[in-house]
Amino acid sequence: MKRNEFLLSALLAGPAISQKPTLVSPDVPRKKLAPFYVPPHSEPLMPGEEGISLRLKVRTRDTDNQFGSVEFAIAPKTIGPIPHVHENLDEIMFVHEGEMHVMVGNEVTIVKAGGYHMRPHGIIHCFWNASDQPARFTDLFFNQNFDDFFEELFYKLMPRWREQGIGRGSSEAVRQRADLNKRFGLTQFPEKRQAIIDQYGLRG
């Protein structure tokens, strides 16, 4: 990585909806990191009811905002996120099991188990599992506390919508998701999604 700008990890003590990434000057001295160990889970991560699940593995707050990582499991014939672009976030994917299709710009790459793939900020991208087997991979996130984004979306907003009987397409859910996207510098392109689903025979 040659970029020197990092985003400050948001504190979770306040309300989740108030989390906002903050730019940190590259001139700010970095603290010395302490070693830490992330043990394996006793059970492998499996796709959830909607075809995708995740585990927060390394928090940016524990790495002085240098990087975070999230483990994903995605069911067969399942599309991941809506095609989108990040203002600041750079990502590296490592596939543990199965294989993933990754689109960056107009290029689609099949990333097989043991392979890595870099997704730089500023380019539209998304990923999906076009195979007949589940896939499991880890994403590393640089320049932004994107683990906080996933914590808020998967562990706070989505459970709240289910609890309140609010559909993802409701005006309230759409408003809250748009606010979350804006705070984390993410722009979505939903009009590009259906063509991928149709071409690769995916479930939406």
pLDDT score for 12: 26
Give the start-to-end residue ranges of the domains of the chain. Answer: 41-144+186-200
Q: How far apart are alpha carbons 87 and 27 in whole angstroms?
A: 21
pTM of the model as a whole: 0.83
Residue 18: its pLDDT value, please?
42
Reduced to 3 states (helix: H, G, I; strand: E, B; else coil), residue 166 is coil
Short-list 3, 137, 132, CA closest to 67: 3
CB atoms closer than 10 angstroms to residue 84:
16
Look at residue 26 in the predicted model and tell me its pLDDT.
59
Distances from the Cα of 95 to the Cαs of 105, 113, 117, in angstroms? 20, 5, 9
Per the CB < 8 A criterion, the answer to whether 118 and 74 are in contact is no
Neighbouring CB atoms inside 10 A of 28's CB total: 11
Low-confidence ranges of the chain (pLDDT < 70): 1-28
DSSP secondary-structure letter at 130? -
Please name the residues in contact with 167: beta carbons below 8 A apart, sequence gap of 6 or more: 161, 173
Question: What does the alpha-carbon distance between residue 67 and residue 56 come to, in Å, rounded to a whole number?
Answer: 12
Of the chain, the end-to-end C-alpha distance in Å amounts to: 34
Q: What is the pLDDT of residue 98?
A: 98
Q: What is the pLDDT of residues 63-77, one digit of tens each?
A: 988 899 999 999 999
Classified by CATH at the fold level, domain 41-144+186-200 comes out as Jelly Rolls (2.60.120)
| Nearest residue to 90 (alpha-carbon basis) of 48, 157, 143 | 143
Opening angle at CA 86, ends 82 and 92, nearest 5: 90
